[in-house]
Amino acid sequence: MLNLFIDTSTDFLILILEKEQKIIGQVHQNHARRHTEATLPTITQLLGQHQLKLKDINNFYLTTGPGSYTGVRIPMTIVKTVKVINPAINVYTINTLLYQAGLDNVVSMLDARSGKRYFAVISNGVEVIPRQVLDYETCIEITKQFPGYDFRYDLQEIDFVQNYLVLKKHFTLVEDIFALEPQYLKKDWS
């Protein structure tokens, strides 16, 4: 089975092409605010380097957020379109904060803009403190309660491939592609 992982929830475009736990190709590029233009051509280029096309992919793995409003939607739009053309594909999802943590003990944060952070505390693939939106000061106070935990922010300094490989069994199969929705945690803070 040929698998493609896609994440555009932050400034990074992350693609991992994998078959039977072996990495065939990968892309990790900073495309801040350009994911709409860059994602599909980059996927096509990655597949082309290995004489493959989108129709050759059996399983798509993607993050569902939280993250950039547009960035979270791009992979979903791509896989929904592919699924309509090829109903035999499978789509698996995971939240971005868990992907960032991997199976480590981690305080996982992503920039939510306006002084807010998407925040979760994760231990061995399980949310100890569930994902939520908090102000930066509250995040720091909670972080102090977890002194042995690593701190990860905005997908920086993580092993993208390793996290994907160890978390594959934690991804959830999407049963109804048309019910697939981004995980937006932001609420009206006014």
Where along the chain do its domains lie? Answer: 2-96+157-179, 97-153
pTM: 0.94
| pLDDT the model gives residue 189 | 42
Query: Matching CATH topology for 2-96+157-179 and 97-153?
Result: yes
Question: How many alpha carbons fall within 13 Å on the CB side of residue 2?
Answer: 14
Question: Which alpha helices (DSSP H) does 26-177 contain, by range?
Answer: 35-48, 69-85, 96-101, 136-143, 160-167
pLDDT tens per residue across span 108-142: 999 998 899 999 999 999 999 999 999 999 999 99
Provide the 8-state DSSP code for 101.
H
- Which residues, including other chains, have CB under 8 Å from residue 48's CB and lie 6 or more apart? none
pLDDT tens per residue across span 62-112: 999 999 889 999 999 999 999 999 999 999 999 999 999 999 999 999 999
Name which CATH class applies to 97-153. alpha beta
CATH of domain 2-96+157-179: 3.30.420.40
